[in-house]
Structure 1
């Protein structure tokens, strides 16, 4: 029965992915004017030597305890320094993010305390959020830690004390909130900085995968593709590229360069992207991910330790019972 269903389910997907790709990028972002895909815009990367440091930055977070009115998360931001293919040093900032819901004049706001490496200030956040480009949504308390982690990554980048270093940050250059925009403006003062997205869901005009279209059309060598859009958006301070950083790679990534010589920057990170662990992905970011990641074992250890220190265990038990029904069902054999 299941095999028959799979046969029926596979057919429409086969037909869908086999459709002809329309060679015009598509974006919902304001101020993004698409430029038709052209083979002339592929630029092959050459061997390149850069004696400047390459710094990879990433962050990790894990929820330790959550209830409808508070959340305890552990956040870690890491920076890993390379010169050539040799790691020079690594540094990390880690802290507990304590988020508490408060009702002020019939409006829910979230107060945030950072307990640990306190290296930036966190202001209260409203549950009624509005992004810089006007999108409005209700912010759940469980999503606050993701915003704080992003601010931690950007603040760590601002504080990097390495003159003329190439800095590559996991994620996007787009600013959603005023605090992000302020930090991105500070980062523009640095010589060379970019943002690399692990995943990209960008499409062409007829809803084909943009990454796949470029990968299929591009040369077998390593390359970067530009221009893809003419961008006129005040909250998007970078320039967009698509890159295949190793000839052996099957992956194309979206790279957004904030400032500096983009070609030189791309060539520099490509020289750090030929490790067989993940061909075509900068090893400094692989390393930063390892340093920043909060493992399940670490999460469970912190949770156990945290709960053992709580004095009012009776009240805590009732609070946690509001949010652990899914866990109980998941563990029922």
Structure 2
């Protein structure tokens, strides 16, 4: 990921832009942090040897520039309205300010740019898009939205993220719609409390880092390439399958734990319809995760007589920590349930 000292500098300023936005006490300071974050991420995306990466970087810059200019315009409009009139429409202004933030983070229904941009990036930039780039806009949304709007955005993101990934063959697009689905769960967690959102985001980031690291080691990008892997690579296959089930929220994997806490709190607060809706759509999400690894789970399944040979050094240093994380994803949930 860090090819030279310039990429290290851009990554540091990228993280500092997120911190400026989070710690700012004014909307103008938050906008400045978002701009620093954007201008630092564009050079990281650029790759002169890949035309798809250049196209994705251009699309990302145009969308983010449009969202940033709209965000600044609506902030100034709110300031002017409050000076001119005493009875301003706070609900409408809240919707207008939150729309650019939803576009920046890829929250449904303003997620239309997200899959096409992710398809042209390498795996490390995809990881940054799914994790680090979500923090600042979601924190700002939590300061704006009330529980009703946050509930509506949560259900919409879970719906689009579940249905959108059903007919996808690219692993990047599947992870994109999975990220949109998880954003919906994060918005529900943020509606309950900030600590629960941090807990959910930490687990999701850990699972995403481990899964993308395993996929990057195997150098695969599509579903049909998984069945063509060398049969001797059982350890990476086990890691991928356990992490996919954990991302889908299947018990007793680690990804089930934050979803179980959110569902339990929603039911205790008499929000049974929302909890039922989220659980049913999570089953759809679990379907396209299982589609990636269902054939390898079966005892009698067809495999090609020739398999892809991956140039991967089978040493413990390559994927020992990946195996440890996938095992923790399997064992940590039942241990936590026992002590709760």
Q: TM-score normalised to the size of structure 1?
A: 0.22
- Point out the structure with max Rg over C-alpha: 1
Higher percent of residues as helix: 2
Structure of greater relative contact order (alpha carbons < 8 Å, 6+ residues apart):
1
Structure with higher strand content: 1
